[in-house]
């Protein structure tokens, strides 16, 4: 296991978003994290990646405790993530967005290092991989939402993470782009990347993921291969409402 949590808990006021969640994701595989709206999936992601601090419990990555790490330190440990609401710099070009992704301290650093051809070539490589290399000079605000999602993913890949956490990569994206994202995930997984994907598109989850964890009311209620999850009565009751 490369990423696991033990009794992870986070509350907001009187609402417990993540409730003593003990979860283990499978190294080298595409892991899915599913559950009803409000079941705590994004809060769980935020706790794991240092965006917010859990109230209790622990997060371990490759055998090291990262519970108290800030988000930049989590990223340096080898975990990259995307967000449910796409995060790009709208008035920067596609290329500038990728350079900022690896030069996060300041925009001034970006401008001072703008002649670094090595990083530009790395950026062009990932733009080709996600399929938007023809938009290198376009401002991000002029991209479609699906293209912005691909740009955000390319930015994650610029950090060369071992584990990639994607929060609803198919949300608001047309079927053609969903297919492109799924193909890219599988290719990158075959190249050694581990994925943890929060997603409501069940067709994508069941066809893409090797291992699925199901959340309900802030805690895991089932895990296993997609074929097992689809038949689990706890999942059918909590997630599918049958």
Cβ distance 238 to 36 under 8 Å?
Answer: yes
The pLDDT of residue 12 is above 90: yes
Note if the pTM is more than 0.85.
yes
Q: Closest by alpha carbon to 80, among 15, 161, 195?
A: 161
Please give the full DSSP string across 145-213, using - where no structure is assigned: HHHHHHHHHHHHHHT--SEEEEESTTTT--HHHHHHHHHHHHHHHHTT-EEEEE-S-HHHHHHH-SEEE
Query: Which residue is listed with tokens 């296993």?
Result: 224
3-state DSSP assignment of residue 1: coil
- Domain limits, the chain: 3-238
Cβ distance 198 to 34 under 8 Å?
Answer: yes
The C-alpha angle 91, 95, 98, rounded to 5 degrees, equals 95
pLDDT 10s digits, 196-227: 999 989 899 999 999 999 999 999 999 999 98
DSSP letter at 26 equals: P
Rounded to whole angstroms, the Cα distance separating 161 from 82 reads 12
Over residues 160-181, the mean pLDDT reads 92
The pLDDT of residue 174 is above 80: yes
Among 3.40.50.300, 3.40.50.1100, 3.40.50.620, 3.30.1330.10, what is the CATH number of 3-238? 3.40.50.300
């Amino acid at each position: 296991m490369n990423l696991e949590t033990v009794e992870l808990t986070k509350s907001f006021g009187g609402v417990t978003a993540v409730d003593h969640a003990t979860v283990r994701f499978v190294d080298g595989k595409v892991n899915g994290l599913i559950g009803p709206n409000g079941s705590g999936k994004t809060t769980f992601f935020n706790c794991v990646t240092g965006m917010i601090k859990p109230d209790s419990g622990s997060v371990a990555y490759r055998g090291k405790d990262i519970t108290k790490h800030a988000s930049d330190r989590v990223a340096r440990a080898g975990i990259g993530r995307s967000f449910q609401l796409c995060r790009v710099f709208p008035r920067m070009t596609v290329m500038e967005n990728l350079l900022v992704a690896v030069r996060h301290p300041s925009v001034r650093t970006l401008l001072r290092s703008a002649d670094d051809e090595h990083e530009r070539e790395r950026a062009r490589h990932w733009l080709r991989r996600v399929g938007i290399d023809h938009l290198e000079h376009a401002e991000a605000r002029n991209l479609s939402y699906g293209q912005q999602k691909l740009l955000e993913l390319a930015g994650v890949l610029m950090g060369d993470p071992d584990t990639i956490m994607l929060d609803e990569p198919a949300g608001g994206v047309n079927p053609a782009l969903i297919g492109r994202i799924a193909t890219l995930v599988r290719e990158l997984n075959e190249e050694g990347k581990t994925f943890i994907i929060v997603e409501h598109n069940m067709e994508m989850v069941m066809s893409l993921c090797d291992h699925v964890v199901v959340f309900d009311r802030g805690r895991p209620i089932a895990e296993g291969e997609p074929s097992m999850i689809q038949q689990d009565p706890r999942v059918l009751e909590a997630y599918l409402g049958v």
